[in-house]
Amino acid sequence: MSETTSPWALRTTGLVKTYRRLRVPTPAVDRLDLNVPAGGVHGFLGPNGSGKTTTIRMVLGLIRADAGQIEVFGTQVPQRLPEVVDRVGAIVEQPKFFPQFTARRNLELLATGIGAPRQRVAAVLEEVGLAQRARDVYKAYSLGMKQRLAIAATLLKDPDLLIFDEPTNGLDPAGIHAVRQTMRHLAQQGKTVLVSSHVLAEVQQVADTVSIIGRGRLLAEGRVSDILATAGGGVRVRVADPESAARLLDESRFGFTRTGDGALSVATAADGTPVDAADLNRFLAERGIFAAELVREQANLEQVFLELTAGQALGSEPPPSSPPAPPGSTGGG
């Protein structure tokens, strides 16, 4: 593995990709500036159709950008992709394995095909927690185990940057937890993990930094803790008569929602500014409503995401213009 010489594992500048739909040019990625620090887990978030998969495919050289620049560890791609291809592993679509072969045999065949040392097979199976199930045939694996085997395949060449596009889709809670633990383990080894996902709660638990995009443009970027700190949060209030409190807040133009346990979550004051807990308590008390519980809520990544992407059109991203790469080639070498 070569040394990282750039503070950025991945950077894009003014990245553009446009498709024609019904003869109308439609930007899938629109002048996107993306900055992924070297080391740690970086969440790449956005609604369906926001350009995440298109961006990843351009980074991997699977489709060509119309404009802009892409750098991987300071090396411009796709022009100089061969110089860094071994430092990148990716899962963009579900890779194909032989269902009748064991996990170990599948990886041995793949290692031979991509020129990776066969002794790496045992190491990567251990890394993803499948060493004890290495002799099981692939078709007997659960969906979560299959996804971890796909991650193992990307590790055969010991890459520095791993790119996972929606890695927890379709997994049960145990499978999601296992994949999340694997990503954290890889980051702790000094690798960079870029994970595209719509499961915001999972991303918040695993990611150090995030980029949020909408309609192909960057909406927010930075450390998760910093983004949540600037987002603030609402005030949770519980009263004896929540219906009366709700009517009063509604008439006074407070912004609030009802929680599933009968409390109210108040986000904005009557003037539209973030609500202050003390002011809210005073407002209610002056009108004969006394709070049994009143606490400041911590904003979460899902709230920030929904606020930033409100009004963003949903839809499917354009189909790939080239077939998905197997987990040991350009998309997973």
At 154-173, the pLDDT tens digits run 999 999 999 999 998 888 98
Structure confidence at residue 39 (pLDDT): 96
Crossing angle of helices 103-114/120-127, nearest 10°? 130
C-alpha–C-alpha distance, residues 183 and 167, integer Å: 10
Domain with CATH 3.30.70 in the chain: 233-297
Q: What is the mean pLDDT of residues 41-66?
A: 94
Name residue, tokens 């904005």.
268
The answer on pLDDT for 43 being more than 70 is yes
Structure confidence at residue 232 (pLDDT): 65
Structure confidence at residue 331 (pLDDT): 40
CA distances for 181 relative to 16, 36, 329, angstroms: 34, 20, 25
Q: At residue 59, what is the residue type?
A: V
The answer on pLDDT for 324 being more than 50 is no
C-alpha–C-alpha distance, residues 244 and 133, integer Å: 59
Structure confidence at residue 5 (pLDDT): 67
pTM recorded for the entire structure: 0.78
Q: What are phi and psi of 269, to 5 degrees?
A: -80, 180
Domain with CATH 3.40.50.300 in the chain: 8-229
Structure confidence at residue 311 (pLDDT): 58
Structure confidence at residue 323 (pLDDT): 39
The answer on pLDDT for 268 being more than 90 is no
Average pLDDT, the chain: 88
**pLDDT 10s digits, 194-207:** 999 877 777 888 99
Residue 316: pLDDT band by 50, 70, 90 thresholds? very low
C-alpha–C-alpha distance, residues 108 and 156, integer Å: 10
CATH (residue range 8-229): 3.40.50.300
Residue 20: pLDDT band by 50, 70, 90 thresholds? confident
What is the topology classification, in CATH, of domain 233-297? Alpha-Beta Plaits (3.30.70)
The answer on pLDDT for 315 being more than 70 is no
Bridge partner residues of 274 (DSSP): 268
| pLDDT higher at 307 or 10 | 10
- Report cis status (omega within 30 of 0) of the bond before 78: yes
Percent of the chain at pLDDT above 90?
A: 66
Pair 258, 246: CB distance under 8 Å: yes
Structure confidence at residue 300 (pLDDT): 80
C-alpha–C-alpha distance, residues 90 and 241, integer Å: 54
Percent of the chain at pLDDT above 70?
A: 91
The answer on pLDDT for 310 being more than 80 is no
Residue 233: pLDDT band by 50, 70, 90 thresholds? confident
The answer on pLDDT for 138 being more than 50 is yes
Give me the count of residues in the chain. 333
